[in-house]
Amino acid sequence: MSRLGSSFRRAVDVVQEAIGVFDAAVASAQAVRVHTKPDARTLRVLGIMPERFPDRF
């Protein structure tokens, strides 16, 4: 039963991480839509270095 509980906790962690990445992607898309730069935290979650992301586009 311990292995089942451990596997379930890992699955929950993976789903929570996926939700976090999805939230960051939505926030980034909303910022880009209004032609502003997303915040640094959001860019890092998406694997983008904030200093390489253009300020204006």
CA angle at residue 57 from 32 to 46, to 5 degrees?
A: 45
**57 vs 7, residue with greater confidence:** 7
pTM of the model: 0.64
- Which residue, among 41, 42, 38, has the nearest Cα to 22 in the 3D structure? 42
The per-residue pLDDT for range 9-50, each reduced to its tens digit, is 999 999 999 999 999 999 888 888 888 888 898 889 889 898
Polymer length of the chain = 57
- Return the closest-CA partner of residue 38 out of 20, 51, 4: 51
Q: How far apart are CA 46 and CA 28, in angstroms?
A: 9
Question: Is residue 55 scored above 80 in pLDDT?
Answer: no
